[in-house]
């Protein structure tokens, strides 16, 4: 390790430690920042206390700890140890702890002063995992308020697109060279006719041949690392490759987060003598891991990304292209120890079209756990933390709503005693709420075993990589009585002061008890059947269950796990429990609310009222009400109008013209603060402007007799109505005394960019005349004497003249009357004079007095 490039930074880093408490270190792949640096820091006299180093992934944390301990000639748990979820190896002698993200935030929450810790290192911070961003924010707050002697080192393979220096402006920056060998790039795009996994299997099988036309022979002595989006693709590719390569020579080794530590170690270790490995990995192998002997990387170019959908409250899994930064990281795995080759399964020209970097998790993830972390920390707004990226407002809103519903925080986002107890259980807030509430349920129902059953359910729901046993969650309870899951169950039992024979409990658990407990955690996921496969959740979301699964036959369920996937209209249920309809009101009574509603019956042509028992948006039962309250009728009318649209009201062209006039006034005279009369806005505010006039309306016939135009006009003040008539009149008084109607039109496509129009100058406003049109229809003889087209909106809108024949038929359309008189009028006059000889067709129309009579009746003409 003495040859690693990071060595060159040891002296400047030690100097920086004496003058700075925040250090940003940029060190590309292969520099040795994850191994040689923390190893060296153990011997630096300026560091007396512990060093914590955060690694984003468990497999990397364990691997780095083992490597450094081995370099010291020690066992893991002596000077160097690690803490990951469900596995800890530290002792009182441990000075360097490699921890995963969630572990760090809990350490800070439990001991904000971080006693005994001198340095915290954030490794691979460019990966932008949600717990890393939170851990960095909490560490900065600790450093600012409690521990000004605490040193923070943020390490990244690249600072491109990473606003670390904006977040830590006083930090010193150190840059290391990387150490990597040349990696030859080969592009093998998938043909349209072939599934990409089959293509990948063929490419790998071809790449390991000594006579491969694409991978040079000098790379054929090492092992192969293949990057895939997930466990499912890894398993499929493993099956395909087992038929295409000699498994006596090539060991097929999967590598993903759900594997046991022993299986992960097997994938990372070098190949036995005389054999080569084909490691099939997710992006856990992108950074912080050196897999021995890799000389060829085959990159699918895909990742599986989970994006939180605030409408449904779950994350949607999508197969997406990786970024350019990720592609570079993956390719670099082939050049860690010697020159290598990277085969990319996309076209070379597509490389530049990939996004520059991955989106940070805080921008796409569910924030419920993060919000509870904030509340426990004493912060009621996530954005108040010193974060690299602010989270989406809607994601925050949904997180706080759920925590409030579960009574983990109050209306002001202040954590409750119940919330504190839930946080300390160390699981997702939903599950923690279920565990705590199970103790209350156990006492009221005198069933102490309910608490242990809740522990089993929580362990199943937290587990990763469960075997497929169908949707019924009871089929998985036995798994929670073994291994790491059982250890977690025992830990929760101890925290809740209960003890049961969990194996017996897993065999005998009643469906009624399971569904009741799950409903505590997922009150928004009570599901009612609709159709053969479909269910509707109480939050309004649609989900499906395979028709072959027994759970699809039930009328009511509580859904514990479902996922939305790309290309599917409804989420797919993975874990659920059946609810007996007879027990629905009794067991889930706390979730049921009573509503009185009134609706319009289209078939019978009358209103009806009923009392509904509901869980969220689902109707459990309903009964007719004989007396219909007038307020309910008003609401029913509003609902009916909103569903059918404004067209069911007594509207005529005057209403639509009023909408156009106000829209034009908003565009060209915004200083008068016009209200919106857009149909969507009127529908959304019916209860404000129309409801007072619906009190005595009890039928659709009466509704259609209302003077809606007057009610809409009343949304404008008297002064606004007068101004509107002045700026955009409904008629134009001609010299003949005729009030010619003006018809207004809006060019909808031109509305884009209107939001800043109130800041524009008069010249700019004049350029927006294409946004609308005022059309004045009048006989040509009544327009005589006009030298130019009329102007509206203080000259900002030119009226378009539709000139009519004596028979009221259009003969010309112009917005420039002066030009019309001098040009096109000559041809119009020739044609019309012969057709209408009794009417006036003067040679000088601009200087002729207007008339609405024939020549014989026009004074001064013979």
pLDDT tens, position by position, 351-369: 989 988 888 999 999 999 9
Looking at residue 252, what is its pLDDT?
A: 92
Give the residue-averaged pLDDT of 701-707. Answer: 85
Q: Are residues 295 and 163 in the same domain?
A: no
In this structure, is residue 521 part of a structural domain? yes
Q: What are the beta bridge partners of residue 608?
A: 599
SS3 435: helix
Residues 116 and 195 in one domain: no
Once rounded to an integer, what is the mean pLDDT over residues 70-80? 93
pLDDT mean over 96-107? 90
Give the bridge partners for 799, in sequence order.
774
- Res 759 pLDDT > 50: no
pLDDT at position 763 over 80: no
- Position 384 scores a pLDDT of 94
**DSSP class of 706:** S
Q: What residues does 599 pair with on adjacent strands?
A: 608
Which backbone phi and psi does 343 adopt, to 5 degrees? Answer: -100, 115
CA distance 79 to 147: 24
Q: How many CB atoms lie within 10 A of CB 24?
A: 23
Average pLDDT over residues 126-136: 90
Supply 550's token pair.
């027994």
Q: Please indicate, yes or no, whether residues 526 and 602 belong to a single structural domain of this protein.
A: no
- For tokens 């250090």, what's the residue? 23
Averaged pLDDT for residues 172-180: 81
Q: What is the pLDDT of residue 334?
A: 83
Backbone angles phi, psi at 373, to 5 degrees: -60, -45
Q: Could you say which of 549, 572, 590 is where a domain stops?
A: 590
pLDDT at 2: 62
What's the whole-number mean pLDDT along residues 414-431? 95
pLDDT number for residue 752: 35
Give pLDDT, residue 496.
94
SS3 track for 3-42? CCHHHHHHHHHHHHHHHCCEEEEECCCCCCCCCHHHHHHC
* Same domain for 436 and 408: no
pLDDT at residue 385 is higher than 70: yes
Q: Give the confidence band of 854 by pLDDT, cuts at 50, 70, 90.
A: confident
Last residue of a domain, one of 692, 716, 740: 716
Same domain, yes or no: 266 and 213: yes
Q: Residue 756 above 60 pLDDT? A: no
pLDDT of residue 764: 33
Tell whether 723 is covered by a domain: no
Q: According to the model, what pLDDT value does residue 861 have? A: 59
The whole-angstrom separation of Cα 844 and Cα 433 is 89
Report pLDDT digits (tens) over 303-333. Answer: 988 888 888 888 888 889 998 888 988 888 8
pLDDT category of residue 769 using cuts at 50, 70 and 90: very low
The reported pLDDT for the residue numbered 179 is: 67
Residue 40 domain boundaries: 5-175
Residue 839 contacts residue 854 (beta carbons within 8 Å): yes
Task: Please tell me whether residues 64 and 164 are part of one structural domain.
Answer: yes
pLDDT tens-digit readout, 80-96: 999 988 789 999 999 99
| Model confidence at 254: pLDDT above 60 | yes
Is residue 746 situated within a structural domain? yes
> Strand pairing of 606-615 and 618-625?
antiparallel
Q: Tally the domains of the chain.
A: 6
Q: Specify the pLDDT at position 747.
A: 73
Task: Output the pLDDT for position 288.
Answer: 64
Which pLDDT score, from 0 to 100, does residue 611 have?
Answer: 84
3-state secondary structure of 89: strand
Residues 471 and 527 in one domain: yes
- Residue 28, pLDDT > 90, answer no
d(Cα 618, Cα 528) in Å, to the nearest integer?
7
Q: What is the dihedral of CA 204, 210, 214, 217, to 10 degrees?
A: 120
Kindly tell me if the per-residue pLDDT of 654 is higher than 90. Answer: yes
Q: Is residue 724 part of a domain?
A: no
Has residue 721 been placed in a domain?
Answer: no
- Check whether 830 has a pLDDT greater than 50: yes
> Residue 595 — very low, low, confident or very high, per pLDDT cuts 50/70/90?
confident
Most confident option among 547-561, 594-608, 763-777? 547-561
User: Same structural domain for residues 59 and 105?
Assistant: yes
- Percent of the chain predicted with pLDDT > 90: 56
Q: What is the pLDDT of residue 661?
A: 94
Per DSSP, the three-state class of 841 is coil
> 622's torsion region: left (phi>0), alpha (psi -120 to 50) or beta?
beta
**444 part of a folded domain:** yes
Residue 753 has pLDDT above 50, yes or no: no
Pick from 156-170, 260-274, 798-812 the range whose average pLDDT is largest: 798-812
pLDDT digits (tens, 9 = 90+) for 551-582: 999 999 999 999 887 656 778 999 999 999 88
- Work out the angle at residue 278's Cα, subtended by the Cα atoms of residues 275 and 281, and round it to the nearest 5 degrees: 150
Higher pLDDT, 269 or 549: 549
pLDDT digits (tens, 9 = 90+) for 474-502: 999 999 999 889 999 999 999 999 988 99
Mean pLDDT over all residues of the chain? Answer: 88
Name the pLDDT band for 39 (thresholds 50, 70, 90): very high
* Contact partners, residue 821, CB within 8 Å, separation at least 6: 845, 846
Global pTM reads 0.75
Token readout for 11 is: 């002296």
**Same domain assignment for residues 118 and 245:** no
> Is residue 506 one of the residues assigned to a domain?
yes
pLDDT greater at residue 161 or residue 862: 161
Residues 93 and 10 in one domain: yes
Q: Is the pLDDT of residue 744 over 90?
A: yes
If asked whether residues 789 and 665 sit together in one domain, one would say: no
Query: What's residue 433's pLDDT?
Result: 97
Task: Look at residues 563, 590, 617 and tell me which one is the last residue of a structural domain.
Answer: 590
Between CA 456 and CA 446 the distance in angstroms is: 19
The pLDDT of residue 1: 59
CATH code (residue 299):
3.40.50.300
- Phi and psi angles of residue 592, each rounded to the nearest 5 degrees, phi first: -90, 135
Query: φ and ψ at 362, to 5 degrees?
Result: -65, -20
Mapping DSSP onto H, E and C, the string for 375-422 reads HHHCCCCHHHCCCCCCCCHHHHHHHHHHHHHCCCECCCCCECHHHHHH
* Structure-block tokens of residue 549: 């699964």
**Residue 352 domain-assigned (yes or no):** yes
Do 287 and 333 contact (CB within 8 A), yes or no? Answer: no
Residues 625 and 547 in one domain: no
Per-residue pLDDT reduced to its tens digit, 451-464:
999 999 999 999 88
Query: Would the CA dihedral through 634, 639, 641, 644 be positive or negative?
Result: negative
């Amino acid at each position: 390790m003495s040859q690693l490039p990071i060595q060159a930074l040891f002296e400047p880093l030690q100097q920086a430690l004496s003058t700075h408490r925040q250090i940003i270190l940029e060190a590309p792949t292969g520099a040795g920042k994850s191994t040689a640096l923390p190893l060296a820091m153990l011997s630096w006299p300026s560091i007396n206390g512990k060093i914590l180093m955060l690694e984003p992934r468990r497999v990397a944390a364990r691997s780095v700890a083992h490597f450094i301990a081995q370099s010291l000639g020690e066992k893991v748990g002596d000077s160097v140890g690690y803490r990951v979820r469900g596995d800890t190896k530290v002792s009182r002698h441990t000075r360097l702890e490699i921890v995963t993200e969630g572990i760090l935030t809990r350490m800070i929450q439990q001991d904000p002063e971080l006693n005994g810790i001198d340095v915290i290192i954030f490794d691979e911070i460019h990966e932008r995992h949600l717990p890393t961003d939170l851990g960095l924010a909490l560490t900065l707050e600790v450093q600012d308020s409690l521990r000004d002697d605490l040193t923070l080192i943020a390490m990244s393979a690249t600072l491109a697109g990473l606003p670390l220096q904006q977040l830590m402006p006083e930090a010193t920056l150190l840059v290391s060279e990387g150490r990597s060998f040349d990696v030859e790039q080969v592009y093998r795009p998938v043909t349209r006719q072939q599934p990409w996994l089959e293509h990948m299997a063929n490419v790998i099988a071809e790449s390991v041949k000594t006579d491969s036309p694409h991978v040079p022979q000098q790379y054929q002595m090492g092992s192969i690392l293949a990057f895939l989006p997930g466990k499912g693709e890894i398993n499929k590719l493993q099956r395909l490759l087992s038929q295409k390569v000699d498994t006596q020579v090539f060991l097929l080794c999967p590598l993903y987060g759900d594997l046991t530590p022993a299986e992960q170690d097997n994938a990372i270790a070098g190949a036995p003598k005389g054999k080569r490995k084909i490691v099939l990995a997710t992006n856990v192998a992108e950074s912080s891991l050196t897999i021995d002997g890799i000389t060829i990387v085959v990159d699918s170019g895909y990742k599986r990304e989970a994006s939180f959908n605030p409408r449904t409250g779950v994350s949607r899994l999508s197969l997406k292209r990786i970024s350019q930064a990720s592609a570079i990281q993956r390719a670099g795995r082939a050049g860690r120890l010697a020159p290598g080759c990277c085969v990319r399964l996309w076209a070379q020209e597509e490389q530049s079209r990939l996004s520059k970097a991955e989106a940070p998790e805080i921008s796409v993830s569910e924030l419920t756990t993060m919000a509870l972390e904030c509340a426990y920390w004493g912060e009621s707004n996530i954005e108040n933390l010193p974060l690299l990226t602010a989270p989406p407002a809607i994601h925050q809103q949904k997180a706080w709503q759920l925590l409030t519903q579960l009574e983990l925080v109050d209306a002001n986002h202040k954590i409750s005693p119940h919330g504190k107890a839930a946080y300390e259980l160390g699981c997702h807030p939903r599950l923690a709420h279920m565990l705590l509430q199970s103790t209350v349920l156990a006492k009221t129902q005198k069933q102490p075993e309910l608490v242990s059953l809740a522990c089993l359910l929580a362990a199943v729901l937290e587990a990763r990589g469960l075997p497929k046993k169908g949707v019924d969650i009871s089929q998985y309870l036995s798994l929670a009585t073994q291994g790491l899951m059982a250890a977690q169950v025992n830990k929760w039992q101890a925290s809740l002061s209960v003890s049961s024979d969990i194996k017996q409990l897993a065999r005998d658990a009643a469906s009624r008890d399971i569904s009741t407990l799950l409903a505590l955690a997922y009150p928004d996921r009570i599901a009612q059947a609709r159709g053969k496969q479909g269910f509707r959740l109480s939050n309004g979301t649609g989900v499906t269950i395979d028709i072959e699964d027994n759970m699809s036959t039930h009328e009511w369920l509580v859904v514990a796990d479902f996922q939305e996937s790309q290309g599917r209209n409804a989420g797919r249920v993975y874990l659920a429990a059946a609810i007996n309809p007879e027990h629905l009101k009794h067991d889930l009574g706390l979730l049921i609310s009573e509503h009185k509603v009134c609706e319009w019956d289209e078939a019978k042509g009358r209103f009806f009222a009923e009392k509904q028992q509901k869980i969220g948006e689902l109707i459990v039962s309903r009964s007719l009400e004989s007396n219909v309250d007038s307020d309910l009728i008003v609401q029913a009318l509003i609902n009916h109008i909103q569903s059918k649209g404004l067209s069911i009201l007594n509207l005529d062209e005057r209403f639509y013209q009023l909408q156009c006039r106000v829209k034009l006034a908003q565009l060209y005279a915004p200083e008068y603060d016009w209200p919106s009369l857009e149909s969507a806005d009127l529908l959304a505010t019916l209860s404000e402007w129309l409801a007072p006039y619906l009190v005595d309306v009890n039928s659709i016939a009466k509704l259609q007799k209302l003077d809606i135009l007057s009610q809409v006009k009343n949304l404008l003040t008297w002064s606004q109505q007068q101004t509107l008539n002045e700026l955009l009149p409904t008629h134009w008084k001609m010299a003949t005394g005729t009030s010619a109607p003006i018809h207004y039109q809006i060019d909808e496509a031109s509305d884009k960019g209107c939001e800043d129009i109130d800041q524009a100058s008069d010249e700019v406003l004049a350029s927006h005349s294409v946004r609308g049109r005022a059309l004045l229809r009048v006989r040509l003889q009544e327009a005589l004497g006009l030298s130019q087209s009329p102007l509206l909106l203080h000259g900002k809108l030119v009226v378009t003249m539709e000139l009519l024949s004596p028979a009221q038929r259009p003969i010309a359309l112009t917005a420039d009357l002066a030009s019309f008189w001098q040009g096109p009028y000559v041809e119009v006059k020739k044609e019309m004079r012969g057709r209408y000889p009794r009417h006036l067709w003067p040679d000088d129309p601009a200087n002729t007095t207007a008339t609405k009579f024939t020549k014989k009746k026009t004074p001064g003409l013979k």
